[in-house]
Every structure is written in C-alpha cells, then in structure tokens.
Amino acid sequence: MPAVDVLDGRAVRLTQGDYERVDDVGDPFELVRRAAAASPPLIHVVALAAARDGGISIGLAEAVVEVSAPVPVQLGGGVRSPADVSALMDAGVARIVVGTAAFGELPLAQLADAGEICVAVDVADGVVRTAGWRASSGLTVTEALDRCADAGVQHVVCTAIARDGTREGPDLALLLAARAGYDGELLAAGGIRDAGDVEAVRELGLEGVVVGRAWLEGTLQLEMGVTPILGSAAHVRTRKAPPSRHNVGGRSVREA
C-alpha cells in the first residue's frame, strides 16, 4: 500500500516521525496519481499537520479521492471524534485512520461505529505514541490491541517509529507480537525496503504493508510489492467519489 504524507501542501517524508527532518518529495496529487496507476488495494494518505495539531482537512480528502479514483483512499490525520470520521466518509474516503482519538477518553467503539476505521498503533520503545507521535498514550502494544479488539475494530496499522523513513527493514519482533495479540487485518509500516521485506512480513501472517520511501525511491515496485499480500480491496467498504471540482474551499483542487 503506497503512502503519501502531506505537509504544507507538499508531499514529504519524515525520518522517525521528526517534523524537523523533512524531505520534500513533490506534488502530493501527482504522487497519488502515480500510485493509483499501479492499482494498489488502497492509497494511504496522512495529513501530517492535522495529525500533530488536530482538525481534519476535508478539502485535501476530497482532492485526493478525486485524483486516486477508482483506487480507494485510506486517510488519516486530525481525526478526533465520530463526527470527523463521518465527515471524511462523506468526502469519499474509504477508510479513516484513527490514532490519537483511539487511545483517549472517548470510547473507541463510538469511532468504529461512525464508519470504516483503521486504528494506528504507532510504537516507540514499546509504548504507543499519539498526537503526531509526540505524546505517549501510556499503553503497551498489547493493551492498545486489546482495546481495538474489544471495540470491534477490524483494521490496524502497526508502525515501528524508529524504523519509519529509514528503509532499515521492518521490526519483525514488534510485528510478531502484534500478530499474536490481534486477529483482525493487520498492516505493517516502518522500514520496508524491498520485496524481501514484504515477504518477511507476509510470513508472519500480516495482511499488508504500508510503504513510503521504498516506492518513492524505487527499491520496491508497487506492482511487485502490494499485490501478493493484499490481493483485492475486498476488506474496504467504498463510497462513490465526490463529483469533480475545480475549486475546493476557495482554492483549486491541486492547492487544497
């Protein structure tokens, strides 16, 4: 599953989630189009400023959905309430990534009931991080996954923060522990380099990988890396993309 992270209107890659270590990788909408041409099951998009500060971006969501069609979008960043989940679903997003709100005071089941969600279990030093990875949830991986299971969450993406953006290989020990503690669809993120890493993740019994630098820098071809693990988008309830717009929120679609 190709990832496109967006910050200040540009596609970027962070290293280990550090907002001070930012590489500009181009126009996010061009990258989404390029990713969609490989027909992955989903395109994973994160609004980084929203993830850090809160507040969803409907304009970005609508624009990404439009340029990715017919490939569905999994989008995260800033989701803090069931209303946010519903609004993004209405914007055409197929699956909403929820991190911070999943481990706060709001019952996770309320978010799960609002639409198709994927919970982000982002891990550093054995603890799940939130608020753009700047805050600690105080939960271990096991505790976080238990919360997901209890709420009926069907999709989780588990990120090894120390590996993210490094292309040093996935944290197989973390992923093995996550697989042992969660029976739903589990995606791996952080450190994926090539098809060999994809195969290693598959052998642990995970259903997919999210890749950033590897596909952007060409060490993993999307056609080779995504299809063997996620054969279809059968797990995703899709909605029709919103009608094409020349203007979103007073700005052109490409500026949304």
- Give per-residue pLDDT as tens, 84-131: 999 999 999 999 999 999 999 999 999 999 999 999 999 999 999 999
Residue 246 has pLDDT above 50, yes or no: no
pLDDT interval class at 223 (50, 70, 90)? confident
Q: What is the pLDDT of residue 225?
A: 45
Residue 252 has pLDDT above 90, yes or no: no
Asked whether residue 254 is domain-assigned, the answer is no
Residue 230 has pLDDT above 60, yes or no: no
- Phi first, then psi, for residue 78 (nearest 5°) are 90, 0
Asked whether residue 243 is domain-assigned, the answer is no
Q: In the chain, what percentage of residues exceed pLDDT 90?
A: 83
Nearest to 32 by CA among 8, 61, 57: 61
| Residue 117 burial class via C-beta count within 10 angstroms: exposed 0-12, middle 13-18, buried 19 and up | buried
Q: Could you tell me the CATH number of the domain that includes residue 66?
A: 3.20.20.70
Pick the range with the lowest mean pLDDT from 110-124, 167-181, 211-225.
Answer: 211-225
Structural domain range at position 189? 3-233
pLDDT interval class at 178 (50, 70, 90)? very high
Asked whether residue 184 is domain-assigned, the answer is yes
Asked whether residue 94 is domain-assigned, the answer is yes
| Residue 250 burial class via C-beta count within 10 angstroms: exposed 0-12, middle 13-18, buried 19 and up | exposed
Asked whether residue 175 is domain-assigned, the answer is yes
Q: What is the pLDDT of residue 224?
A: 53
Nearest to 208 by CA among 181, 223, 229, 233: 229
Please give the torsion angle defined by the CA atoms of residues 204, 133, 128 and 116, in that order, rounded to the nearest 10 degrees.
Answer: -70
The tokens of 231 are what?
């054969």
Catalytically active residues, by annotation: 5, 113
| Mean pLDDT, residues 229-247 taken together | 38
Asked whether residue 43 is domain-assigned, the answer is yes
Q: What is the pLDDT of residue 166?
A: 87
Rounded to two decimals, the pTM is: 0.86
Asked whether residue 255 is domain-assigned, the answer is no
Q: What is the pLDDT of residue 222?
A: 85
What gap in Å lies between CA 123 and CA 54, rounded to an integer?
20
> What is the tally of structural domains in the chain?
1
- The whole-chain average pLDDT of the chain stands at 88
Q: What is the pLDDT of residue 181?
A: 94
Pick the range with the lowest mean pLDDT from 27-31, 50-54, 67-71, 82-86.
Answer: 50-54
DSSP output for 61-107: HHHHHHHHTTS-EEEESS--SHHHHHHHHHTT-SEEEE-GGGGSSS-
Asked whether residue 42 is domain-assigned, the answer is yes
Nearest to 178 by CA among 159, 161, 197, 163: 159
Q: In the chain, what percentage of residues exceed pLDDT 70?
A: 87
